Amino acid sequence: NAGVTQTPKFQVLKTGQSMTLQCAQDMNHNSMYWYRQDPGMGLRLIYYSASEGTTDKGEVPNGYNVSRLNKREFSLRLESAAPSQTSVYFCASREGGFQPQHFGDGTRLSIL
Amino acid sequence: TQLLEQSPQFLSIQEGENLTVYCNSSSVFSSLQWYRQEPGEGPVLLVTVVTGGEVKKLKRLTFQFGDARKDSSLHITAAQPGDTGLYLCAGRYTGNQFYFGTGTSLTVIP
């Protein structure tokens, strides 16, 4: 059972380049999330999708866009990467109610 | 603005010692979750607490949700090297958005 799969695992970009981070879940969950994790900051929510066809901004949405392609897939796009976006990005999914989030193993992104 | 403050940020203890990690907020949460994260991996759920005053035990780990549902604690008895990791609390008001604490990095020395 794969759970939540993120690709790629590592990426190095130059300032100004664009990139899409992919996330797919095989648990038939309704909600999906994108977080970034920086030292001493915990996880901060970038965008989330409560259900297929809807997306909402989280705490730190600036510089990012998302697409809920279908129930399984939720992608995160950086249109013009900046060094401040160097971080570890995590995708998560959950069923709803009091059910927990299930996380992928992260994408480590460095922007030079 | 960090809605959930965790303390301490770092903790290094000897095997066999006890420890408590705190998660505090000025906001009332409908539920609160504790996660553990190891290097190179995503967080993994330990427990969800929902009711004010609720206490849950998971082997040597005891979780408590404050009566007012604004704070929580994680107590580990007789810590072992396998407990080493980053411990995160996450609160939810209503709806689908979660707010994570700043994290507590625990190192248990054999």
Q: What are phi and psi of B103, to 5 degrees?
A: 95, 150
A103 → closest Cβ in B42, B95, B101: B42
Cβ-based neighbours of B61, under 8 Å, separated by 6 or more: B46, B47, B74, B75, B76, B77
Query: Higher confidence at residue A100 or residue A8?
Result: A8
pLDDT per position as a tens digit, A34-91: 999 998 778 999 999 999 889 999 999 999 999 998 999 999 999 999 999 999 999 9
C-alpha R_g of chain B: 13
Mutate to test the interface with A, among B34, B88, B96, B100 (most CBs of A within 10 A): B96
What is the average pLDDT across B5-27? Answer: 95
Taking the C-alpha atoms of residue B36 and residue A73, their distance in angstroms, rounded to an integer, is: 25
* A88 reaches B (C-beta below 8 A): no
Q: What is the mean pLDDT of chain B?
A: 93
Band the pLDDT of A102: cuts 50, 70, 90. Answer: very high
Q: What is the pLDDT of residue B41?
A: 92
Chain A CA closest to residue B89 = A42
Burial of B20 (0-12, 13-18, 19+ CB in 10 A): middle
Residue pLDDT, tens place only, B18-62: 999 999 998 899 899 999 999 889 999 999 999 999 999 999 999
Measured between CA atoms, how close is A65 to chain B, in angstroms? 17
Taking the C-alpha atoms of residue B18 and residue B63, their distance in angstroms, rounded to an integer, is: 14
Contact A66, A55 (CB under 8 A): yes
- Is B91 near chain A, with CB under 8 Å? no
Residue A38: partners with Cβ closer than 8 Å, 6 or more residues away = A44, A87, A88
